Amino acid sequence: MQVYQAPLRDMRFVLDELHSDDGFGDLPALSEFTPELTTAVMEEAARFAQEVLAPLNRSGDEQGCVHENGVVRTPEGFKDAYRQFAAGGWTGLASDPAWGGQGLPETVNKLVEEMTCSANLSFGLYPGLSHGAATALESHGSEDLKRRYMPKLVSGEWSGTMCLTEAHCGTDIGLLRTRAVPQADGSYKVTGSKIFISAGEHDLTQNIIHLVLARMPDAAPGIRGISLFLVPKFLPNEDGSLGPSNGVSCGAIEHKMGLKASATCQMNFDEATGWLIGEAGKGMAAMFTMMNTERVSVGIQGLGVGEAAYQAAVWYAKDRLQGRSLSGTKNPGGPADPIIVHPDVRRMLMTMRAFNEGCRALSGWVSRALDAEKHSTDPEVQQRAADFVALMTPVVKALFTDLGHESAQLAIQVYGGHGYIRESGVEQYARDARIAMIYEGTNGIQALDLVGRKLGANTGRLLRSFFHPVAKFIEESGGEGPMKPMIDALGKAFGALQLSTATIAQRGMADPEEAGAAASDYLRLLGLVAMGYCFARATRIAGLQLMFGKEDKAFYDAKIKTATFYFERILPDATARFLAIKAGKKSMMALDAEAF
């Protein structure tokens, strides 16, 4: 059964307690967003997610989107839900007030994104893509383009997309064929076809603004010859009203295993009028502004689905009666005990719980860095924050989506045979979560980005943004006390990460395949250590609250117990990842291609 209650208490812990001394300092530009204000915002977001979005999740999956004569209709209830979402200001929650946004911190925005994705991931893709498009346009667009399009994107009146992929090239964007021919008035005529375009066509907004990668005539081959163009579905008039159709059409929608209420479109551009965003030949740099924003958001999608799957599994484990407890009857008045008493069910539930709390804590740290990068008045802090975001973006995208899908699979296992049939609602989580490991760059691509670009960038400066605070925490928290086993475990895993980093650096310079063979294991290892660091910090805070605090004792006690499970049952995987990295590429690459 699909049930969802926003985990507001844990969200407030991450927002107001966990990262209060993360080294980024106070951000005066965000001082008006007090805990009282942000709590009110999150409570209202929770109400909307629980009461409006969640009831549409299963029905949206069953109905799906419909494509007829070039028009896409979203499932019943989506248009009204989107109208309420935009009217409530959620589309511009973290956007600049200069464009009509509310300017809230990313730390709050990411928590609201999580609630939206937990309640209805298909719905969340529509405004999520608009936010990414607006980010790219604001960073690279001309003043005239921003004046024309930013207010409408921020308000949600219009929506946005990113149009990269073509059928013949997939991830290798340098092979794209879409053309952009310059016109006398400074515009371009864009012609080509794109596939897998989320929210490319739908009935939620009046206009859809496509950010399209294309190649100008005589452009250089490969990535260097690609430019980015803004191509609206309808050409706007000077007063902002809608003008004529612009040669943009949807040829079909994909028939997917999940996210059926999110329209994934094959888009055709037939001499559609567009305008250059940024510099000619530097379209990928501009698009990466959107892609990096989306990659963090896709990680949040994994967390959102993982939380929803966990809650559904807990509900069922408490309700389903089957067997008796190994330690003696727990439900003497009934024919059997609830399955939550069984150790293996507890293993699955605790794994899901630890995944969610660890990802939420790490997301809070990355979100703090996003805010510091944008709002800090200290250039050194801004640089350190930017380094940390760059390092952690592939980790958030890949790790969170891996774990979210694993949680969805565990939820099905908790339900047993009932989890495998549609009526339970939990199999949808596994189907919906699966794509998040693929789009915005597959998780393997994220791992290659981490080891191939991020580790060696600026002579390891990005790594120092993470290594230094972790090393300092371990050193300051050593010695005796109840946290000693956690600190010892964290220290051991951190040591494995350091040795793995050195191994990859040494071998990768001589043989790039060695770095490629280690990439996915290294990303998981880095993510495990990062979550362990967050759990250790959370435990220290919880211990102090239990010692001196007067409220929420049950919450802080559960926080420590969840952290203990993480250190004892999940973090040991760090050692296995280190051993796999140490083994190198030999066995992975030994078999001839013809032998497969």
How far, CA to CA in Å, does 470 sit from each of 310, 467, 481, 503, 563? Answer: 29, 5, 19, 20, 17
Bridge partners of 163, per DSSP, are 212
Measured N-to-C along each axis, helices 461-476 and 484-510 cross at an angle, to the nearest 10 degrees, of 160
Cα atoms in the Cβ-side hemisphere of radius 13 Å centred on 497? 28
Cβ neighbour number for residue 548 with a 10 Å cutoff? 7
Q: Which residues contact 314 (CB under 8 A, 6 or more apart)?
A: 340, 349
Cα atoms in the Cβ-side hemisphere of radius 13 Å centred on 379? 0
- C-alpha 491/C-alpha 472 separation (Å) is 11
DSSP string, 218-236: TPPSGGGGEEEEEEESEEE
Instruction: Give residue 170's region: left, alpha or beta (phi > 0; psi -120 to 50).
Output: left
3-state secondary structure of 367: helix
Name the token pair of 141.
Answer: 């667009």
Torsion sign, CA atoms 395, 401, 402, 408 = positive
Pairing state of beta strands 71-73 and 158-163? unpaired
Name the token pair of 131.
Answer: 């936010």
Core vs surface per residue 212-233: b (16+ CB within 10 A) or e: bbbbbeebeeebebbbbbbbbb
Give the residue numbers annotated as catalytic, written as ranges. Answer: 440
8-state DSSP, 52: I
Question: What's the maximum distance between 2 C-alpha atoms anywhere in the chain?
Answer: 84
Provide the Cα torsion 16, 19, 23, 28; round to 10°.
-20
One-letter amino acid of 218: D
Contact (Cβ atoms closer than 8 angstroms) between residue 78 and residue 123: yes
Element (H, E) at 544: helix 512-548
- C-alpha 326/C-alpha 264 separation (Å) is 48
One-letter amino acid of 183: Q
Spatial CA neighbour of 65 closest among 239, 195, 250, 299: 250
Contact (Cβ atoms closer than 8 angstroms) between residue 185 and residue 136: no
Pairing state of beta strands 188-198 and 207-215? unpaired
Name the token pair of 503.
Answer: 């191994």
Cα atoms in the Cβ-side hemisphere of radius 13 Å centred on 201? 26
Name the token pair of 583.
Answer: 């083994």
Provide the Cα torsion 553, 556, 562, 563; round to 10°.
-140
Name the token pair of 302.
Answer: 């994994």
DSSP string, 173-228: GGG---EEEE-TTS-EEEEEEEEEEETSS-SSSSEEEEEEEEE-TTPPSGGGGEEE
Name the token pair of 231.
Answer: 């191509």
